[in-house]
Amino acid sequence: MDFIDKEDHELYKLHKEQNALSSYFSIPNSEKFVLKIYLAQNEYEKQIQELQQGLLAMFFVVLFVVGVLSFLFSIYALYPFRKALRLTEEFVKDILHDFNTPLSTLRLNAGMLKEEIGESPKIARIEKSVRNILDLQANLRAYLHSHASQKTPFELKNLLRERVALIEGNYKDVSFLVNVKNANLNANKDAFTRIIDNLLSNAAKYNKKGGTVTLTFEDGVLKIQDTGKGIQYPKKVFDRFYKEQDRGLGIGLHIVSKLCEELGVEIGVESALGEGTLFTLDLRKLYD
């Protein structure tokens, strides 16, 4: 503080000077002098810096406390949901396991009935329905398991020939052509097999009588081309429960897309009605 000549100083107002902040106040019974209160610029900046540091420290403390409370609250709020999901998953696994006994009984009795009365359209429909249930069971089991970290090396050509040999027996009026050079892949073999089985069975199931399913592999991309009915809206085929035919549940290709995502395989589809469908699988991330 200081006492200075009154002169023309404006009272009761903060003045910012080169080296200080100051303000002037009147002195009772004095017409010549005024009271000057001032703060040096370096002291002012020092106090401002201390305030900023204090506010910043307080901000981080509050942010940390809010983060911890939010984390604890989220755990508390999501616990019932996670428990319900875990129970549902266990229930589905139990149901899938319990499918084995009645399905085995159905297959056994259908086989015995075929031996007694011979070939019959009704028996063929029963066997086809059993195969559909088995495919659904395999899809659901694959959907429930994580496959990203379970990797084993295998040869692509041998696996494709093996899967084609199993599927073509159920579709006598469809020809399968495998034009694939050998490649060593490193991925979850069961998940990859499930992808191939779904694509091959769909290519055969919705094909024309006397149609073909062609498999080619070039530059790390596997192509599965059919001469079937085609797909009206190809971009929707990976949506859950979407289907353009009366048969099926509309979850097979959705599961395929999820498995491809887990394995790091990019899947694509092109289709034209009445001409056929082409599925592509980019397998370059699976090279051994």
Confirm whether 136 is domain-assigned. no
Tally the domains of the chain.
1
Confirm whether 215 is domain-assigned. yes
Q: Which residue has the tokens 């959705």?
A: 254
Residue 208's domain comprises 149-286
**What single letter denotes the amino acid at residue 168?**
E
Confirm whether 103 is domain-assigned. no
d(CA 77, CA 10): 62
Confirm whether 60 is domain-assigned. no
Confirm whether 8 is domain-assigned. no
d(CA 262, CA 240): 17
Confirm whether 274 is domain-assigned. yes
pTM of the shown model: 0.57
pLDDT in tens, the chain (288 residues): 877 777 777 788 887 877 888 888 888 887 788 888 888 888 888 888 899 999 999 999 999 999 999 988 888 888 887 777 777 767 666 666 666 677 778 778 878 888 888 877 888 778 777 777 777 777 676 666 655 557 889 999 999 999 998 888 888 889 999 988 888 898 888 889 889 988 998 899 888 888 999 999 988 899 999 998 888 888 888 887 777 766 656 677 888 888 888 888 999 999 988 889 999 999 988 876
CATH classification of the domain holding 220: 3.30.565.10
Strands 212-218 and 175-180 come out as: parallel
d(CA 161, CA 178): 7
Whole-angstrom CA distances from 32 to 3, 22, 23, 90 are 10, 19, 17, 93
